[in-house]
Structure 1
Amino acid sequence: MQLQLLTPTDQHWLPDLSRLLQHTVDGGASVGFLAPLSADQAQAYWLDVLAGLGPQLQLFIAHHDGQLLGTVQLALCAKANGRHRGEVQKLMVAPASRGSGIARQLMEAVEAAARHDGRSLLVLDTQQGSAAETVYARLGWQRAGSIPDFAASPYGELAATVFYFKRLQR
């Protein structure tokens, strides 16, 4: 298994990223989209992400033998009062690869990149009651609180969102 930081020129991963996003959303994960997610919607999303990659937005993937296993994004705050923090976004692991440590390795890569950039705090959010909550707790993330009816689930029902943070040690 390899971890890779993508660049805007890594367009060859677009079909696999799009399929992973579709499987994730259609499988019930709340990552900002409603199910069913079309291939066109997924591709448009990833085209925007790839075009925006740079110092403030990083996209990591895990792959093995050309097969995409998972992905996560790191958005670094550019505001003068927030240059110590970053936000973890859209951690997704392919259904067949879940439970194999891919999420842990992706999150460790994000944390290392944030540390390398001088960041001392990471934040993220996820749907309350999701499997992701267990993953984040195992990885040492602290629950900050929740907001009821914050976002619609992939199936359109309003659901609570939980916010997490992690202080990074240098």
Structure 2
Amino acid sequence: MPLIIEPLAQLTAEQQQALAWQLQACVAQGASLGFYHPLCDADVADYWSQVNTELKESKRLLLGAYLNQQLVASVQLVPCQKQNGQHRAEVEKLIVHPDYQRQGIAQSLMHHLETYASQLGIRLLVLDTQSGDKSEQFYQAVGFTKSAEIPHFVSDQQGTLYATSYYFKRLACSLTA
């Protein structure tokens, strides 16, 4: 069955549950996604509720990837709300459930995200990820350039501090400026 990627404009309870499943599984495997393992169900529900509110307000775009009608991956695009930054957006929470990793889903999600961003007039994407994480190689492989590293930016549950790397990618804009 083919991979289907589509924007999720307003999350249903079923979609929120699938997104929580993705997030919890990735954090359990050590992904640095802003949460410690184990995630409290209430914290995860609060997070996706907040995302849902921002989707309704058109402050965020969420793309979902489906295999066999099951939501297995997602990525978010958050356009800058500042007047002088409307040409840029932040990529957040590229999440692929561990059972579906290394199948090209993340690459497909990023391609679709870049297409949507270009259609919105976004010409610059930015993101951050924990330095040394496997995601750094992925972002470089899909054309992002590392621009900086900030030491001691995130911590694990034991209090060990880690650096965060910042990346950017320029996009061709499909709209005339």
* Residue identity (%): 39
Q: In structure 2, which of residues 80, 91, 102 is the aligned counterpart of residue 99 of structure 1?
A: 102
Q: In structure 1, which of residues 21, 28, 31 is the aligned counterpart of residue 30 of structure 2?
A: 28
TM-score (norm 2): 0.91
The alpha-carbon distance between structure 1 residues 9 and 138, as it changes in their structure 2 partners (threshold 3 A), is: closer
Q: In structure 1, which of residues 99, 112, 115 is the aligned counterpart of residue 118 of structure 2?
A: 115
Contact 2:63 2:109 in 1 (8 A): yes
Partner SS, residue 86 of structure 2: coil
TM-score (norm 1): 0.95
Q: Please list, as runs of the form range in 1=range in 2, the aligned pairs for 1:27-106 lying within 5 A after superposition.
A: 27-53=29-55, 54-106=57-109
Deviations 1:12-71, CA, capped at 9 Å, x for gaps: 201111111111111111111111112221122111111210432011110112212211
Runs (4+) of structure 1 moved beyond 6 Å?
Answer: none
Work out the number of aligned pairs and report it: 170
Long gaps (5+) in structure 1: none
Q: Please list, as runs of the form range in 1=range in 2, the aligned pairs for 1:135-146 lying within 5 A after superposition.
A: 135-146=138-149
C-alpha distance in 1, partners of 2:33/2:114?
20
Q: In structure 2, which of residues 9, 12, 15 is the aligned counterpart of residue 10 of structure 1?
A: 12
Counterpart of 2:26, as a letter, is T
C-alpha distance in 1, partners of 2:15/2:158?
27
C-alpha distance in 2, partners of 1:77/1:25?
27
C-alpha distance in 2, partners of 1:64/1:35?
26
Contact 1:72 1:88 in 2 (8 A): yes
Contact 2:28 2:37 in 1 (8 A): yes
Partner SS, residue 83 of structure 2: coil
Long gaps (5+) in structure 2: none
C-alpha distance in 1, partners of 2:104/2:127?
19
Q: Determine the structure 2 residue equivalent to 1:150.
A: 153
